[in-house]
């Protein structure tokens, strides 16, 4: 690949060097934020032969270049700009160009994504415990208690982690947010899981003649996000009125006191109910007869990815894990990916042009590790009904998920890495691989039969 020539073609399609506000790259894509989006010639961008595709999403113009190549193209772009490219404010620049809904989803992603390693680890430990029990290993009560510590702590104290992450996102004092998060799961409050299972009653507190039922916020997401934001908001605004000489004592005192009061007696129960309602709706959809909910989600999940709204699904996945202990959306999401992957690989095998064939394979490979945007925008959406064939494959994978009763023990990883979330038994691993194979094969065969690239 001639990296300098590729950069020149990219610059011609976006209105030149002077139109670049900021730039960065990920594993497969060059991402540009422009000063004037009206100067972009999207048709010309999509016709650049040395890249796999172009699309605009979340305020960013994204050129799919491929692993191992994109970093060289980025360095070439830096040279073209005279070496002056500071992408430290890239997220802020991209955020400014987003719609309101995109900003909400991006904010949720920025808060929840840092938590994924902890939640993935918890899921793997749950799978390990399940595998050992399935293999006939006998645990003493003390050993089971230790395993419960490993698998349950992250969810029991999830509001603490989320409040901390949210406070960092909104520029607040993370330590104060941690304290508020700890108060939300304090042992003095009835445990939310115990109350939900009927083992305890909410604590009734009389305030101004009104009885408020209080429970803990174990495993909840939205109240903790609100806590992180509200702590940041309070702290920032209180400092406008509190003298600097009194700031060290009075600002944290008032911030914690007011925040906990508002959460326990105001927005906390409301947000908790909204979150439980959303999770219940998803569970109702998945409980539809004949696996209809599974089929629809398996077909449509990658449509959600195209809009960029998939980051918000993390709230639902956490809710499902919190309430049921398993996550059926993980295999369904993987089924949807596998369907699109099968369709894209079929396209690659049909292409005669070596450059196009190579670009199609390159754009598809990141799907194996859960990144599908290069495949979607670089291949499937460019060839008519190919995306629809991928959806059919995802639907078949969804049906297989329903029939086999496949669910993950965690979240955050999909496709090949997602196998680790099924380590509780060989049967679970085989079932997960069967979901992938069924979705891939269906989409691959349909695409090959239709042959959308006869003239390519």
Catalytic residue set: 26
Q: Two tokens at 392?
A: 């059919």
d(CA 187, CA 70): 51
Residue 327 DSSP one-character state: B
Nearest 5°: the CA angle 383, 389, 393 is 145
Q: Which of 171, 154, 69 is nearest to 120 (CA)?
A: 154
Evaluate whether 453 touches 354 at the Cβ level (below 8 Å).
no
Q: Which of 308, 400, 323 is nearest to 107 (CA)?
A: 308
Task: Name residues whose C-beta falls within 8 Å of residue 347's C-beta, 6 or more positions apart in sequence.
Answer: 360, 379, 380, 383, 386, 447, 452, 453
Q: Which of 37, 28, 40, 36 is nearest to 73 (CA)?
A: 28
Q: Two tokens at 192?
A: 């939310």
d(CA 440, CA 419): 16
């Amino acid at each position: 690949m001639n990296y300098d020539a590729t950069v020149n073609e990219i610059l011609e399609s976006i209105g030149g060097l002077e139109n670049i506000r900021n730039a960065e790259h990920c594993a497969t894509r060059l991402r540009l934020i422009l000063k004037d989006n009206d100067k972009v010639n999207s048709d010309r961008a999509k016709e650049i032969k040395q890249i796999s595709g172009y699309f605009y999403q979340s305020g960013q113009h994204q050129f799919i270049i491929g692993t191992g190549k994109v970093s060289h193209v980025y360095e070439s772009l830096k040279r073209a700009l005279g070496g002056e490219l500071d992408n430290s404010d890239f997220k802020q620049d991209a955020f400014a160009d987003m719609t309101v809904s995109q900003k909400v989803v991006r904010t949720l992603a920025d808060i929840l994504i840092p938590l994924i390693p902890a939640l993935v680890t918890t899921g793997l430990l749950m799978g390990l415990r399940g595998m050992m029990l399935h293999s006939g290993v006998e645990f003493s009560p003390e050993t089971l208690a230790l395993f419960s510590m490993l698998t349950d702590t992250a969810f029991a104290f999830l509001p603490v982690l989320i409040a901390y992450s949210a406070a960092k996102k909104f520029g607040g004092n993370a330590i104060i947010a941690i304290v508020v998060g700890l108060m939300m799961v304090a042992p003095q409050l009835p445990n939310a899981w115990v109350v939900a299972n009927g083992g305890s009653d909410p604590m009734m507190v009389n305030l101004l003649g009104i009885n408020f039922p209080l429970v803990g916020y174990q495993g909840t997401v939205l109240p903790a996000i609100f806590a992180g934001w509200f702590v940041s908001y309070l702290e920032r605004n209180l400092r406008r009125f509190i003298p600097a000489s009194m700031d060290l004592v009075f600002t944290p005192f008032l911030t914690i006191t007011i925040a906990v009061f508002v959460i326990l007696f105001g927005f906390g129960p409301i947000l908790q109910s909204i979150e439980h309602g959303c999770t219940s709706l998803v569970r109702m959809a998945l409980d539809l007869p004949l696996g209809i909910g599974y089929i629809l989600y398996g077909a449509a999940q990658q449509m959600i990815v195209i809009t960029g709204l998939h980051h918000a699904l993390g709230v639902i996945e956490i809710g499902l894990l919190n309430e049921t202990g398993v996550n059926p959306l993980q295999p369904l999401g993987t089924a949807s990916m596998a369907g699109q992957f099968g369709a894209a690989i079929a396209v690659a095998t049909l292409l005669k042009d070596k450059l196009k064939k190579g670009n199609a394979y390159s754009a598809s490979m990141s799907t194996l590790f859960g990144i599908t945007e290069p495949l979607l925008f670089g291949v499937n959406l460019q060839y008519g009904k190919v995306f629809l064939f991928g959806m059919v494959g995802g639907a078949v994978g969804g049906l297989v998920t329903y029939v086999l009763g496949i669910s993950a023990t965690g979240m955050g990883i999909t496709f090949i890495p997602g196998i680790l979330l099924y380590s509780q038994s060989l049967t679970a691993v085989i079932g997960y691989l069967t979901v992938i194979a069924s979705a891939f094969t269906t989409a691959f065969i349909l695409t090959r039969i239709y042959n959308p690239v006869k003239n390519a």
